[in-house]
Amino acid sequence: MTTGASATKIDPITFQIVWARLISVADEIAATLVKTSFSLVVRDNHDYACGIYDISGRMLAQSLQCTPGQAGATPRVVAAMLERYPAHQLSPGDVIIANDPWLCAGHAPDVFIAAPVFRAGKIVGVVCNSAHHIDMGGRLGGTDAREVYEEGLIIPITKLMVAGQPNDDLFRLLRRNVRAADKVIGDLRAQMAANHVGARGVVQMMDETGLESLETLADEIIPRTEAAMRAAIAEIPDGVYAHSVDHDELDPDGKPIRLVVRIEVAGDRVSLDYTGTSPQVPKPINAVFNITRAYSVFPFVAALCPRLPMNDGVFNAVSLVVPQGTVLNPTFPAPGMFRSLLSYYVVELIYGALAKVIPDKVMAPSGTYPLWIQKFAGRFDDGRPFVSHFNAQGGHGARQDRDGNSAVVFPGNIASTSVELFEVDAPMLCERKAFITDSAGPGRFRGGLGQEIVIRSLAKHRISGAASGGRFRHGAVGLDGGKEGGRGRIQFNDGEPFARSSQVFYDRGDFVRLCQPGGGGFGDPLSRDPEHVLRDVRQGVVSLAGAAADYGVAIDRDTLRVNVTETARLRTRNAAAAE
């Protein structure tokens, strides 16, 4: 580190060492959170975000494993926390908590915990993590909620710990209002433990590197990151690119909810305008501005510079206009518990616009959104209460040069639930979990596959649940001539398919069948390599009939080999029919 008049500058070698060390400390926060948490959602689904901030609330680093929604929301949360409790008023041992959907990540289960970092008696920064809790009270299965008050306890910015002493009144309030208090309180304590490890790591890093202030580091990190982000944006040709998406959900007039974006690129600057998006609805799918902002920035990072470390510099490079009162910026007290049923479509919206100018950088729409999360609450046969979530997804959209992945969450970046752990966590049996043949959107490169999952109740007590999913009316569309992926379907006891996400009550033996959508294809299916189609048929991804109808590839049923002559005839015929 330089001295004298240039004391605020960090030499390049020290800078890289300190920055990398800071990211590793953020990873330590995440590792501690995972190792000490009580719930499947945090421990195994990895539904969390962790970050390190200076005393101005600027994010310097986040853990490599994060959900984009929570991670993208955290900078504004920490800034608001420091506005409520200025840095000079904080003491060692203070812990700040909040989950207010309008301030935080859009729904009550995402709880943010922050703690000041003290070194030699002086506050030098803040560590913060967020975690999705299995319950925060309210209506667990409130898929028809009309106000946020139905969706759980709202915690304003307040202190959970004061100078190392617990705020007992708040702990009692939380314990009384949630279904699985031991797990919820356990996860809160895991969040506090993770921040303790993070604060210790920041102090050790500063001691070992001689860094006196995180502000000095922030002044180096944030402009460099912003410059890198702007350089990537500058590679997009200047222009205005618009796109719209009609969502499966209907507005009060019975029309599909419409999301609209207008992207303007001018040099190294990009602005997004969501004017024209449908008004907010009395359904729990509205996405607050903070979550919309998070999923507006993420697609640019993922497409243009996926290895760029995330911090405030990334967010500074993208500006937004989101009209208030729309489904992407609702006014209080609009419900939003299942905002992932809508907010993930922001990625499709942006990529649909950018596909017109940088198709090699984007992916086709995915069947992994809306997010399919199944919630269950009730009692084991011995009377013990339980609350559990089951997370599994469909297929990614294809890209210009590769097939889509199957059963991997995008853009939420959380892990799928282990069947074995879920069956320990709840008196439920997962009878089937398999890919659905022909569910991948056909294309030169095909989408990822959807899944069929059957979950049955084994409990003698009635279980309440929320069955959520989507793409029931329209599958994930393809790009550049690619075709639509398979549609979603939810059935209870093989009854009529649901028209939308719904609350469900399970008696012993009742089951739910989830058929999750596949991803959209990329490019003309008739240009797919016949040998790739043959491989898909042999692996059960594509049926013989699907190979002929969708790809124009004739495969002999007995030998499982491509009939070259018949394939040429089929492709000529199918191409003519498509004109």
pLDDT tens, per residue, the chain with 579 residues: 443 333 457 788 888 889 899 999 999 999 999 999 999 999 999 999 999 999 999 999 999 999 999 999 999 999 999 999 999 999 999 999 999 999 999 999 999 999 999 999 999 999 999 999 999 999 887 788 899 999 999 999 999 999 999 999 999 999 999 999 999 999 999 999 999 999 999 999 999 988 888 999 999 999 999 999 999 999 999 999 999 999 988 888 889 999 999 999 999 999 999 999 999 999 999 999 999 999 999 999 999 999 998 999 999 999 999 999 999 999 999 999 999 999 999 999 999 999 999 999 999 999 999 999 999 999 999 999 999 999 999 999 999 999 999 999 999 999 999 999 999 999 999 999 999 999 999 999 999 999 999 999 999 999 999 999 999 999 999 999 999 999 999 999 989 999 889 999 999 999 999 999 999 999 999 999 999 999 999 999 999 999 999 999 999 999 999 999 999 999 999 888 887
The Cα–Cα gap between 236 and 461 comes to 57
Q: 384 phi and psi, to 5 degrees?
A: -65, 135
Sheet holding 385-391, edge to edge: 385-391, 373-379, 463-467, 502-506
- Whole-angstrom Cα Rg for the chain: 25
Residues 6+ apart with CB under 8 A from 341: 249, 285, 370, 371, 468, 470, 501
The Cα–Cα gap between 407 and 392 comes to 7
Q: What is the pTM of this model?
A: 0.94
CB burial of 415-429 (b: ≥16 within 10 Å; e: otherwise) equals bbbebeebbebbbbe
Residues 6+ apart with CB under 8 A from 312: 58, 59, 60, 75, 218, 222, 225
| Cα dihedral 301/303/307/310 (nearest 10) | 10
Strands 318-321 and 269-273: parallel
